[in-house]
Amino acid sequence: MPMTMAPTRSNLLKLSDDLKFAQLGHELLDQKRSILVVELLTLVDQAVDYQSRVQDALKEAQETLSDSIMHMGRLKVANLAGAVDIDYTITLGSRKVMGVQLPKVETTFVDHGPYFSSEGTSIISDLAVGKYRQALELMGRLAELKMSIMRLAREVKKTIRKVNALEKIVIPEDQMTIREMRGRIEEQERENFILMKVVKDRLEKAKGGVSTERHLVQAHVVVEGAQGGLHGSTV
């Protein structure tokens, strides 16, 4: 990248400050990337675990419902399902990890039982309701984890791009520009030193010439005076 700034001490100082700021930003972004990656991997492990738990919970709930149908019949189970009175609330919150806002999902249930008389019904129907409720709670947590993973992955990708830009473009270009500018400044200083030395030598020579000429004039006056004295004494 060609240097577009004038090679001056003030510009060199400004570039040095910019380089220090870029290096500090790179260090902070690298730390952020590491923390986000650790958090992301942790959530991925949790999501895998909850995915398995949700599948198992749904399987158990489906098997319990099938057993209830076998014991009481499909029509009766359908009628009992209409009598189930459960209020649910899904509360959405948030938390932040290194400036990234992640969702929090909390699912609560309020039972208004008993839903039906125990006479002529099987306890398996109650078990099926509990199994499905447990599966819904796990699904809420799984949704929270998957959304958090998506946001963290997006932020990790952005942070990696910024770190690479600083590491491979901004910092090397600043360092190269500083080296070139420092070299030009040193070259200018050497040229100025040589120029000043030449000027000083010429001034000293000019001063020395003037002094020599003055001495010659004074010597000529003395000689002329001496000669005048000699002529006077002879007369």
190 pLDDT tier (thresholds 50, 70, 90): confident
Q: Which residues contact 110 (CB under 8 A, 6 or more apart)?
A: 86, 87, 88, 89
- Give pLDDT, residue 120: 61
Q: How far apart are CA 142 and CA 148, in angstroms?
A: 10
**pLDDT-based confidence at 223, cuts 50/70/90?**
very low
Q: What is the mean pLDDT of residues 156-176?
A: 93
Across residues 40-44, what is the average pLDDT? 94
What is the DSSP code string of 146-172? Answer: HHHHHHHHHHHHHHHHHHHHIIIIIHH
- Provide the CA 168 distance to its chain's centre, in angstroms: 14
CATH topology of domain 9-180: Helix Hairpins (1.10.287)
Most confident listed range (77-91, 147-161, 178-192, 203-217): 147-161
Indicate if the pLDDT at residue 233 is higher than 60: no
Residue 215: CB partners within 8 Å, gap ≥ 6? none
Q: Which residue has the tokens 């419902």?
A: 65
Confidence class of residue 37 from pLDDT cuts 50, 70 and 90? very high
**Euclidean distance between CA atoms 128 and 144, whole angstroms:** 25
Distance in Å from the first CA to the final CA of the chain:
92
Distance CA 160, CA 122 (A): 58
Amino acid present at 181: M
- pTM (global) more than 0.75: no
Map out the domains of the chain as residue ranges: 9-180
DSSP 16: H
Run of H or E including 87: strand 86-97
How does 46-68 read in b/e, with b if 16+ C-beta sit within 10 Å? bbeebeebbeebbebbeebbeeb
Q: Which amino acid is at 90?
A: I
Closest C-alpha to 213, from 224, 203, 205: 205
Work out the average pLDDT over 133-158.
92
Tokens 């006077």 label which residue? 232
